[in-house]
Amino acid sequence: MNKPIGANAAEAARPTVEVRDGEGALLPRISAGHADLLYARGWARWSGKGARRHLTLTDDAPLRRLPPGSHAGTKRDRADQTCRVYKDRQPFGGPHQVEFIPTT
């Protein structure tokens, strides 16, 4: 199935929504669809008016602070005590070899 010409450009230019934690600190922007999902789950409420409208996370939101240097939802692979090559907690692999961090 072929997409109409320009469909990819339209998808890439979707507007994003500003997100703030309960203390007002700015978090990474998310898509409008993800904003609706957070609101529907009760994890965020709409704040502000007009063009200044943004999401504020509620206390029920499963917000986890990532360690410095990690990318959203990932962390470096590290050896455990069963590894015979690397020391316990020593990172291994290249900088792009990462482990997915589940939200639950």
pTM for the model? 0.51
Closest listed residue to residue 91, CA positions, set 79, 82, 73: 79
Task: Measure the CA–CA gap between 77 and 97, rounded to whole angstroms.
Answer: 7
Task: Measure the CA–CA gap between 3 and 6, rounded to whole angstroms.
Answer: 8
Position with higher pLDDT, 79 vs 69: 79
Residue 56, pLDDT > 60, answer yes
Non-local (6+) Cβ contacts of 98 within 8 A are: 71, 74, 75, 76, 77
- CA distances, 80 to each of 41, 50, 103 (Å): 36, 51, 22
If pLDDT is split at 50, 70 and 90, which confidence band does 1 have?
low
